[in-house]
Structure 1
Amino acid sequence: MKQTPKGTDHGGETLNEIPIVDWLDLEHDREKLLRDIEYALSECGFMVLANAPGLDDDFQQRAFKEVRAFFDSSPDVKQSVEISQSPYFRGYSDRKLKDIGHGQIIETFQYSFEQPPVSAHDDESFPLHDRLMKGPNIWPEPDELPGFRPIIEKLCDTYHSLTHMLGELIVESLGEDSAEFRRYFDFDDPNLAASLNHNHSLSAFPEESRARVRADYAKFDSSNVGTHIDGPPFVALLINDRPGLQVVAGEGRWINAPVTCRTADGDYPVPVIPGSVIVNTGGTLMHLSEGRYSATLHRANTTLIPEGETRVSMPYFLLPKTEGDLVPFGKSSATRGNASGYDVGRDRGANACVNRMGTFPQVTRRWWQKEFDALREKAKSEVESETNAAFEFAAKRGERYKNRTT
């Protein structure tokens, strides 16, 4: 059943929720769709895309059922696809011990497109990003979870097609030629990092840790709860089945994101918009638009997950080509010192690789320690620069909203 979302009020004085953009407007009112995209990504950096093609409620229900079945499976099944088996950062990771210090107890499953390796992982005659990001997935045995691989491969294909269609519309909403998107994204040769995340509620924490976690999330600017921007991608796409995602928007405060698929009974403390997908601006788009669309700080808030329950989210990060500079839309060459905090001289492929290496140290220790040691300090400074730019853009948005009320 198609949803008829409440329209976005572009004249409001405050931004209390993530703006909704209706995909059906593409057929009925294209100009409205472009205006709504422009408003959402310039004023919030996030949007809820309602009636997302291929992501109707029936499909999402099936996807969440299969993903939950994987995370509920036996330790033996999950360990059979443990992520450090492969240099390509694919498979299962139990990050409970690592992330308890960041206010999260989380398990993940990493996947991408099935691609043959370009070389041996340590053959330095090939670029690092090709050696690390191109390779096969690791899947549970079909007799254990027969529906898992098919639904995730379908989700991957759906996300991929939508990212390309939406990416061109986003470029058009900036007043630029939509062909600019295709300069940086090759549909047939993608660079992808995608994840299935299983976050546990506060009740899974040791009792002595819960008060500290609550206190950290109660602070606006706590550095202890995984607040971040998505640096490498153009945009990120995400479906989720429980509350938890929060975004810095409006007057510079946390607002709660909706749920895209109801998989539990009872009331949800956030809106539920079935058949939708949450879209946010990444650092690549922040740079290409010269800050017109800025990456927005966000986090997964453990304290919003209902007690005794868990939250599943399925984020998708399509990365740009790694060759050449990222030249902002409408410009003939890249310039340094731009507003987005982006270093145009960076090795984009290496930067994306270091992002993966830092997130999954068990893989790095086995396969990539030398490369990580050589690159991590430079990558850290680049992340800090872009994050600081995102903070500045958020502050400017906050000032705009305050001025509307004075």
Structure 2
Amino acid sequence: MTPTTATETISANDDTSMTRLRLSSGNGPVYRAVSKAPLREAYPSEIPIIDVSGIFSGPESDRMSVASQIRDAATNNGFFYIKNHGIPTEVTDWAYETLLEFFRQSAKIKERANVSQSRYYNGYKPPKSQRINPFESVDVRETFSWTYDPRYDPSVPDPAAIPPHIAKYLRCEDFQWEATANLPHLKEAIVAYWRACLSLARALVRAFALSLDLPEDSFLEKFTHPDAALALNYYPPIPVPETTSSSENGETQVSIGSHTDFQLFTILWQDDNGGLQVLNRQGQWINAKPIPGTFVVNIADYMARITNDRYVSTVHRAQNWSGRERISMPFFFGFNLNESCGVLDSCLAEGEERKYEEISCEDWVQRRAKAMHTTEDAK
């Protein structure tokens, strides 16, 4: 049965001011209690701004200071802003302007890059082709996606020398660039943005290790050829509903549906139109408004697993009520797909049991992708 609503009323014995949001996950259907209170702006304590300049610094004390702030945010709502991240505005502006140019083209031209022609889901996804949460509306967005390609990774001196046990998981192709050759600067802009995010992500992984009471190079061998992908989103405006409170009545229209991310963490650049919403620990939707000069970082599912849920992979969605077209540029980062990791010893209290078995990143990503694209009712 195809669902028509994202939420259902909690039983009479529960709090009637809450509804229940159904989500797909790698562990089967999961539910989140959602307040019927209206959407509101996030408090600084809920989504803090972290100055990460210290992760590029020599003194260990500077790096530890950033790591401590990351730990606080990751164990709270799992979302935080970062500033002084080292990515020039020229890079983000170029990618933003080029993407607008791409998405404003005719459907016929964009269809040349349709993802259905790709071997690895690189390329263009047209309107009404995505439904990230099967219990909400079809996503009102278009997307241009690109997965990790070692040929563009400055840390890989010779892609031909990559060991076979790693290379078999890499998804390299030129289809998406050949199909967008009418805009040759599109490739240049996207690759420049991807490289900048990749460099930042590798620095952040070291900070995450410190935040977990591990040596900062603990994960070094696990992201030599990481699962580092882009999903560059174009959101046309959608109507503002009569009420922004959560309700069990009717289908929720979304720009992108309620979900959690797959791997370790996501780095997101968003334009100034807004629309990103985060489900906080109390079950209320809060706005993660755009803050100039910052990126949003959020914890993803694999990080939650290996920390035994110490770090929170938080539900989020987008609704573009700005009246204008919106661009968001999420960069998803995780270990090599050939790697695996179990619950970290540093995340276990004395006598505490591991909640999750060790699973390879490839198996986890496949499990999550399959669950996300299931459209049957998950009661």
| TM-score, length basis structure 1 | 0.66
Using CA pairs under 8 Å that are at least 6 residues apart, name the structure with larger relative contact order, 1 or 2: 2
Answer whether contact 1:228 1:297 (CA < 8 A) is retained: yes
Shift of 1:220: 7.1
Normalized per residue, the structure richer in strand is 2
Q: Is the 8 A contact 1:229 1:297 kept in 2?
A: yes
1:243 and 2:243 correspond = no
Q: Does 1:32 align with 2:65?
A: yes
What SS class does the counterpart of residue 109 from structure 1 fall into? strand
Name structure 2 gaps, 5 residues minimum: 1-42, 152-163
Matched-pair contact (CA < 8 Å) for 2:63–2:207:
no
Task: Tell me, yes or no, if the aligned pair for 2:51 and 2:84 is still in contact at 8 Å.
Answer: yes
Q: Give the SS at the match of 1:155.
A: helix
After the TM superposition, which residues 229-308 of structure 1 pair with which residues of structure 2 at under 5 Å, given as runs? 229-230=260-261, 232-241=262-271, 242-249=273-280, 251-259=282-290, 272-274=291-293, 276-302=294-320, 305-307=321-323
Alpha-carbon contact 1:113-1:156 (below 8 Å) kept: no
- Asked if structure 2 preserves the Cα contact closer than 8 Å seen for 1:93 and 1:108, the reply is yes
Shift of 1:43: 1.3
Q: Give 1:338's match in structure 2, choosing from 354, 362, 365.
A: 354
Match of 2:116 in 1: 84
The aligned residue for residue 148 of structure 2 is 113
SS of structure 2 residue aligned to 1:110: strand
- TM-aligned CA distance change 1:63 to 1:221, over 3 Å: farther
The match for 1:185 is 223
C-alpha distance in 2 between matches for 1:202 and 1:169? 38
Closer, same or farther: CA 202–328 of 1 in aligned 2, 3 Å: same
Structure 2: distance between partners of 1:310 and 1:155? 20
* Residue identity matched to 1:149: K
Q: Is the 8 A contact 2:146 2:231 kept in 1?
A: yes
Flag the 1:68–1:89 CA change in 2: closer, same or farther, 3 A. same
Deviations 1:247-282 (A, max 9, x none): 1225332221132xxxxxxxxxxxx222x2111111
- Distance in 1 (CA, whole Å) between partners of 2:221 and 2:167 is 19
Q: Deviations over 1:191-223 (max 9, x none)?
A: 2332101112114xxxxxx75xx66x6317898
Q: 1:352-399, CA deviations, whole angstroms, 9 ceiling, x for partnerless residues?
A: 23545676x7xxxxxxxxxxxxxx79xx99xx9xxxxxxxxxxxxxxx
Q: Which residue of 2 aligns with 1:20?
A: 49
Tell me, what secondary structure is at the counterpart of 1:102?
coil
Instruction: Please say if residues 258 and 273 of structure 1, whose CA atoms lie closer than 8 Å, have aligned partners that are also in contact.
Output: no
Q: Is the 8 A contact 2:238 2:319 kept in 1?
A: no
Asked if the contact 1:115/1:134 (under 8 Å) is kept, the reply is: no
Q: Within 2, Cα distance between the matches of 1:23 and 1:130?
A: 32
Residue identity in the other structure for 1:173: S
Instruction: Specify the alignment match of 1:218 in structure 2.
Output: 245
Query: Please, which of 326, 329, 349 is the counterpart of residue 311 of structure 1?
Result: 326
What is the RMSD computed on CA atoms of the aligned residues? 3.6
Greater share of residues in helix: 1
Work out whether residues 336 and 343 of structure 1, in 8 Å CA contact, stay in contact via their aligned partners in 2.
Answer: no
- Does residue 352 (structure 1) correspond to residue 365 (structure 2)? The answer is yes
Identify the match of residue 105 of structure 2 among 50, 68, 73.
73
How many equivalent residue pairs? 309
Alpha-carbon distance between aligned partners in 1 of 2:352 and 2:332, rounded to the nearest angstrom = 25
Post-superposition CA distance 1:163-208 (Å, at most 9, x none): 111011111022111222224222xx222332101112114xxxxx
C-alpha distance in structure 2 between counterparts of 1:102 and 1:326, whole Å: 35
Q: Report percent identity of matched pairs.
A: 23
Provide Cα deviations, 1:4-29, integer angstroms capped at 9, x if missing partner.
xxxxxxxxxx7654111102244384
Contact 2:268 2:331 in 1 (8 A): yes
Distance 1:349 1:283 in 2: 13
The structure-2 alpha-carbon separation of the partners of 1:247 and 1:354, relative to structure 1 and needing over 3 Å to count, comes to same
Alpha-carbon separation, structure 2, partners of 1:98 and 1:58: 30
In structure 2, the partner of 1:194 is 230
| Maintained 8 Å contact 2:148/2:170 | no
Q: What SS class does the counterpart of residue 75 from structure 2 fall into? A: helix
Equivalent position of 1:61 in the other structure: 93
Distance 1:191 1:34, change over 3 A: closer
